Amino acid sequence: MLAIETLSWMEMRKLSERLALAKTIKQLRIRNPDAVRLAHRLVCETVRRRNFIDKFANNALKPEAISEFQLGVQAFLRLYVYQTRIVKNWSKINVEEAENIAKLARSILGWRTLRKVEHVLGLLLTQKQASILEGVSDEEKFGLLTFHPTWFVRYCSRLLGRKEAIALLEANMNSPPTYIRLNTLKASENEVLEKLVEGGIKTEKVEGLEHAYEVRSAKQPLARTMSFREGLFYIQDKASCFAAEAANPKPEITVLDVCAAPGAKTTYLAQLMRNRGRIYSVDYSRRRMNVWRGETARMGVDNAIPIIADACNPLPIRTEADVVILDPPCTSTGAFGKLPSAKWRLTRRSVDKMAEIQWKMLNSCAENVKPGGALIYSTCSVTVEENEMLIERFLKWHPGYSLAEITPKMGLPGLRGLEKCLRLYPHIHQCNGFFIAKLSKK
């Protein structure tokens, strides 16, 4: 029931996996952590394969389509295909399990509701997966096999070439490794590592970054450990850690962190500044800034001030900062492995619309950098419209700025000749796809 309701909320409100699950847990008053973990895995893996599952279901439902049924039925059909066929690697058929799943769905949705699709449940158990690949183009076929929209397959092929595009899309079929950043505001790095070992968390240092570690294994969910509650570490992708380190913030300086919630960058900046100087953290969302307040308190941050404002407009702060960091909303095309639902909310037009929002924010932030200061721009997107093309446009409009070298050096040079910009890719760097540019103000 938890998984069906979560998928329904995602479809109805266009929520992410995490937000929809949190909403459902509160709605149904679920207290069992094992049930939550199972539902989260079911939801993420079903959503990851949504285009394949829908085409497979539509093949059995025709002339009807899965989208014509109410949200609860849609969610059930997707979960049914995932659990009875994909989990079994399309080979073994467990009729008893399928019947039990159908009985459970009847009790949740009502037998009258489920009766509309009962006639296809047997066919879904026996239909061959290869049947849906007949008569489709190469791009659509590869999109189905790697669980991506056809437009994105086409886009990546044009951007990176067929070989690299295939590697990127295949990497997105799985979640990237989990990374944490140790918090030296609370204890020394060695002390934190000792606490992690005591808590059954095994880690491996990320080469090139100061405090980032890959989690190799853990005896329980990281967010439920005592070390997490004590603020000894932050669950943060290494690409995000890289953005904070690239800003190179020193103690006593003034930093403007734009689009700061939920607090990953702010808490790392404060750590690198040893809680000295001042950080102004800006975000438009009151809900997200409430999370920011909780995270900064957990991590022991003393030098950050929250500001609720829309960065598309001039910021309500007159201070010129030594460093301005802008990590704007983006299409998250570099994070499809971690956030599979993002794939199905986007179209090719979404990229251009998002780039215009980013352009407004970038222009706005440029006014708050002091002479000799730096503006750091980063996204977890792989598109050039949100990254290199935006930086090219910015440099033409702002001749007082120039690209600067980024340290530490990670990833590959930017595209379109912007070699001082850096890119990370899921299939090469085992993290979210990422872009970063450092702009110096003369």
Provide the 3-class DSSP secondary structure of residue 424.
strand
Name the residue among 311, 386, 336, 305 with its Cα closest to residue 146.
336
Q: DSSP per residue over 369-396, as a string? A: EEEEEEEEEEES---STTTHHHHHHHHH
Half-sphere exposure of 180 (CA within 13 A, CB side): 26
Q: What share of the chain is helix, strand, coil (3-state, %, to 5)?
A: 50, 15, 35
DSSP 64: S
Pairing of strands 434-441, 369-379: antiparallel
- Identify residue 55 by its one-letter amino acid code: K
- Residue 10's identity, in one-letter code, is M
User: What is residue 124's three-state secondary structure?
Assistant: helix
Which residue do the tokens 């590592």 mark?
Answer: 193
User: Which amino acid would we find at residue 86?
Assistant: I
Which residue from 386, 370, 366 is spatially nearest to 378, judged by alpha carbons? Answer: 386
253-286 per-residue burial string, b: 16 or more CB within 10 A, e: under 16: bbbbbbbbbbbbbbbbbbbbbeeebbbbbbbbee
330 catalytic residue (yes or no): no
User: Token pair of 55, please?
Assistant: 């085409």
> Which candidate in 259, 380, 421, 431 is catalytic?
380
3 state SS of 331: coil
Residues that are catalytic: 380
